[in-house]
Structure 1
């Protein structure tokens, strides 16, 4: 078949950093109401158990409702839509929404083609809700979330989300608000500096650990730093937007780590460069894109050994998989010298 391709294919996306303590509050509610994850987070499981024990009876009631219905996801969607600076403005704008518009904003965004069904569901159409639930039936909790939005009184749900944010802020965030905001701001500024010199794909990879390639319909990637969910990156979708709530870097947490412990990213890149075979492989790839077979033949090593070396180089961001070949990423070395200097000349406590 002969094909004349006149289509436009998106080659990149815009990346933007957005920092707010309100996202931290919503993610905090997500973490606290998902105990299966507690043993895998930066802080020990006991920390989250103690945090839950500190909750007032009012907040505990809201957390139980959140745990049953995954309303933290609804809260995140509202925060993105309303973009409020204060809890007072969030409460006011949330109350000002019609029941239909409120339901539309808290129903999960699935894809552009399903936005009409989302709108119909928000207006009370059960067929629209069923279309959404059928489309995401393999998702861990979206079908139940859609059902809950449809069957729970909108005003009850609205009051719950406002109370959850207000009580979390008052009981857990108030004493740490300034420190938390400063850490999030410091990390956001670091990522904004990356975006001035790196490609969006490289900045997203370094911030999140996710190699996110451009995809149809996605024009923007939002990078939102968090502390509470470290070391996990949480991925979400909004219209024409991919969202990554990513863990702040070690360097954004002064005083909370050993100053003599090097940042993991710095260790990764020097470990990758500190091996003769990996440097030879990198030199070959820097000359032109190479397949695994080409590298195996050129290096005179076994396939498994070469694959291991390539995995180390990929983890450090030095190379990328491009089609069926490995390609050099020259931007990967832009910041390592500065990061090494910052580590060596930073504050010393001993």
Structure 2
């Protein structure tokens, strides 16, 4: 879409993306004069969009919220991004059916040109790994509301079900909710546990918020300053997101294979090419036996550089493999 209609769509997109826009900045983004921006703003007002203007050297424009705001408009990139996000929502285990209905609703109101582009973006999200249950949207809303309000969350924790039952609830906990994160198809809450006086992660599909929430709190600084890095370190058995890898067991090996052949399978290990037929790999795991097994699955000859615990783990793995083979 080009000309005035396309420029109006781009202007509306910019106003929706940011609270306040200086007039000169809008003119620069749209590659037009400030006078043209003023005319385009008047056109949006005629269409019913409540655009407020402020005067003076720092004057600019703002799109106010309103009960009678006309339907939102999407440019090509926004439409494709929205379609992709709604399709991936099912793979994250939250409101999959609602996401599908939302995508169908959005598709119906798009012009034919954009509908064709959206229909071309088809992805198949993988189901939640590890057998985890989908997250109840009400739980997600309650937890994220407590995060935003900085209110202590009182919650019950569901123990993993066994023998086909629904599981039992542990005694209620009091936590200061800080961040909600998605990892490997599951949703987690990073919180300061007031009953344990420490950082904890809680799976949202096993968390049952109680109402009302508790008092407001002052957020604590997350170790390292990056919640995603800190949670990733916790999953590796470390509390130092800036540490060397984070895994409690780390070893180094030389693989008899080019780096390009094993790179897709080393996860968060550090790979270094040595020559055309060899590479060096530094990797970690929860245990030495687990590390030896993960390296053995690469199915290439290797030399253990260290430490001695990794060599011992390979020897133990060899004995168990020999016993399993009936030797």
Relative to the length of structure 2, the TM-score reads: 0.22
Larger Rg: 2
Q: Which has the higher strand share?
A: 2
Q: Which has the higher helix share?
A: 1
Relative to the length of structure 1, the TM-score reads: 0.21
Structure possessing the higher relative contact order (Cα contacts under 8 Å, 6 or more residues apart): 1
